[in-house]
Structure 1
Amino acid sequence: MRDLTKKWYIEIDLLRGIAIVMVLLIHTFALFTQIPKINLLAIVTSFIDIVSSIAVPMFVFISSVLMTLQKSYLNNYFMFIYHRLKFIIIPYLIFSLIYLVFYSYWNETPFPEWKLIASSLYNGGSAFHLYFIPIIVGLYIFYPISYSFVMWSSKKMTIIFPILTALLFQYIWIYQHLIISKIYPEILNLFIYPYISTFTSFLQVFVYFVLGIYVGANYDNIIGFLQKCKLKPYLITAILLSSIVTWEWLLGIKEYGNFYVIPAIIMIPTRLIMIVSHIFWFISLYKIIEPLLKTTNTLKTMISEVSRYSFGIFLIHIFYFEVLLKLFTKYHLTSTRPTFYILFFISMFILSYLSVKIISLVPFHQYVIGKIAKGKE
């Protein structure tokens, strides 16, 4: 049996590198919603956007797997929280303030009052991608309870029970506004409601967290199973499920005229299909990187390098997203043209990576872009 608390998991390292690339892809190809009519470009870009939606689930899954493998919380829960959050919260707060200043200047609006600043720092509202930080904080805080629940229920019953329970909580959180408005709408007007909603926001990805705990607790067995699997059936299934979601999204856009006004209740089955597709994509991506695990080549080195700086890239890339979007629009290169997506993604990726790389040379950089792993083979 391997010492799972000390091993360097190159497979997880590579998946993290792919996940951060997916984050940039989803923010690039989400601009398909600006295409005025459904055509081949809309179909292709929406499909890529849907496939890239595995980014956040993959980060949650990876974090859960690693926490379970390392079992650092067993020694001291508060030290576990401290070490996990020290290089997350401080960079998050710094970038939150930077984005508040940036958007005030960029949108030519007054700098927000202190109440809005405090609210933005709490709920990740300073920039549209920072909602992920309250999620990850909640997952860390509730990890020991989640771990105990998964271990107990999977032994007493099967892994299906904790997954279905997590799925129930996930759907309740996602559709909380709709549910509460039907049962007790007065709750929505309570001052504390948005704060409770943010504190429990980790529930919107709870299935992936629970799945990660189970995989981490049974890591050798799961890896052994995956090594026997064939890529083709999982990849075909993942593509098929993502295609179904693409078709449903485009039908919704055709009927309602805009993706963002499609009624939430219509998306209930679509979300379930997406969750299942994410699991098949996880397996497919593992099988795709599997040949890299026992070799050293340029591709493996590049993915590992991106993985090392993934948190910093995550924090900074929206700055370049906004700048490039305005620059491209100024020169009439819009999301209605295929070249827009290619150039936009490559530009945002290179600028984000180089910026983080430069910041990493500065003393105390870990408090700005997070801790950077040294990397191993």
Structure 2
Amino acid sequence: MIRSRTSNVKPDIIEEIGYLRGFGVLAVIAIHTTGYFTEVKQFNSLVLVNLWVDIFSQFAVPLFILISGVVLAKNYRESFALKEFYRKRVRSIIPQYLLFSILYTAFNNWDIMKNSALDTNFALLLNSIWLADASYHLWFFSIIIQFYILYPLIIRIYSLFKQRNRAELLLVLMLMIQTFFMAGLHTSYLSGTKINFMGFLFYFCLGIYTWDHFDSFKRKFTLPKSFLFIMSIALTLGTSFFIIIGLTTGYRYDSIPAYFFIGPELIYPVLRVISFLFLFNVSMSFLGKRRSILAKVIKRIGDYSFGIYLIHIFFNQSAIKILKNYQIDFDSWTFYPIVFAVTIILSYLSIRLVSFLPFSYYLVGSQSRNRS
């Protein structure tokens, strides 16, 4: 999960995860910035560059799901109290989700709500909470809630396979189920299906498997960053090939036939695993140079990644509105770096300030260790 409680840091914390969370939330903001290439009317180099960045950055949510698997496997294994487990899961995600669902419902529907009856607005709010669509990025919560509910069953199944030395077989099965499900979403058979966790089963189980082999994996990890980076770029280009065909044959992105996206779904798991390995390699290298500016920045962003994820759409949308007033729009090269920089800086600063408030953990998931 995109989780950060900077008070009460445990001595056995996995430092690499802090950096991975930082990379993950930067990728989320990159997706929500570069995604506006779909508004550009003609296919050109601006569209191409943003498409590549968008595809590469799609590792973000799978990475957070993998981290959730690692953290849960680390803390909850063979026997644990279900009541306490679910109580902690509710405490760690539901207050923040409800608060930001209310805020985003008002933010995105204010013109309608101020002229509507109280019961109409209340119904709108309840519907937004139930469907996790108060803002387009809150869909993540529906996935993580489903995994929290199912975790006791998943870890039991994983343990059964592990006892028979078949954990790798379970990963293969989860990969097949996930891939068939994601490809099926682009067909008439599964289109509109809402059991979103199915599209991330492999990554979650991979997180559990990763924790089981974490120490040996770190010792034996020898793949160079340059090789992993080149592989990530090559797979990104390969994934984009199908979409580029659609864009260059006269379709707008939103009207490209669904079957054009089946090919990318077959490549995505490989691309994302390679991206995970690349980012893990970078994170390990940061451990040896914690005092470097880049390492400190990524670590700080990772510390507040949950709150940044929650709040960043406010600043993203506000920055876009302001830029439009100055005729800087989706067709401009300067639009994308400005929106990205403004979003990450203001999101971080706001969550850092909120973290000093009492009970800020229940607001944004972070509590500053410096608050008395």
Cα distance in 2 for partners of 1:160, 1:299 equals: 36
SS in 2 for 1:229: coil
Change over 3 Å in CA distance of 1:366–1:336 after alignment to 2: same
Cα distance in 2 for partners of 1:59, 1:275 equals: 14
Contact preservation (8 Å) 1:138, 1:202: yes
User: How far apart are 1:299 and its partner, in Å?
Assistant: 2.1
The answer to whether structure 1 residue 239 and structure 2 residue 238 are counterparts is no
Identity of matched residues, %: 28
TM-score by length of 2: 0.88
1:364: which partner in 2? 359
Counterpart residue identity of residue 126, structure 1: A
User: How far apart are 1:95 and its partner, in Å?
Assistant: 0.7
Cα distance in 2 for partners of 1:50, 1:98 equals: 29
Cα distance in 2 for partners of 1:98, 1:150 equals: 38
The answer to whether structure 1 residue 10 and structure 2 residue 15 are counterparts is yes
The answer to whether structure 1 residue 64 and structure 2 residue 46 are counterparts is no
1:191: which partner in 2? none
User: How far apart are 1:155 and its partner, in Å?
Assistant: 5.2
SS in 2 for 1:56: helix
Contact preservation (8 Å) 1:12, 1:62: yes
Q: Deviations over 1:196-215 (max 9, x none)?
A: x54x3211211111111111
Q: How many residues align?
A: 357
Of 264, 289, 293, the match for 1:295? 289
Aligned pairs for 1:1-377 (under 5 A) are 7-71=12-76, 74-105=79-110, 112-154=120-162, 156=164, 158-171=166-179, 173-174=181-182, 182=189, 198=194, 200-226=195-221, 228-255=222-249, 257-297=251-291, 298-372=293-367
Q: Deviations over 1:59-104 (max 9, x none)?
A: 1111111111222683212211221231311011011011111111
Question: Where does the alignment leave 5 or more consecutive residues of structure 2 unmatched?
Answer: 1-9
Q: Deviations over 1:211-267 (max 9, x none)?
A: 1111112211222232x2222222211110011112222212223522122232331
Counterpart residue identity of residue 177, structure 2: F
Cα distance in 2 for partners of 1:97, 1:108 equals: 12
Q: Which has the higher contact order (CA 8 A, sep 6+)?
A: 2
User: How far apart are 1:109 and its partner, in Å?
Assistant: 7.8
Counterpart residue identity of residue 28, structure 1: T
Cα distance in 2 for partners of 1:149, 1:285 equals: 29
Moved more, 141-150 or 332-341: 141-150
Moved more, 113-122 or 216-225: 113-122
User: How far apart are 1:150 and its partner, in Å?
Assistant: 2.7
Change over 3 Å in CA distance of 1:340–1:55 after alignment to 2: same
SS in 1 for 2:315: helix
Cα distance in 2 for partners of 1:236, 1:57 equals: 20
Contact preservation (8 Å) 2:78, 2:156: no
Change over 3 Å in CA distance of 1:290–1:177 after alignment to 2: closer
TM-score by length of 1: 0.87
Moved more, 49-58 or 161-170: 161-170
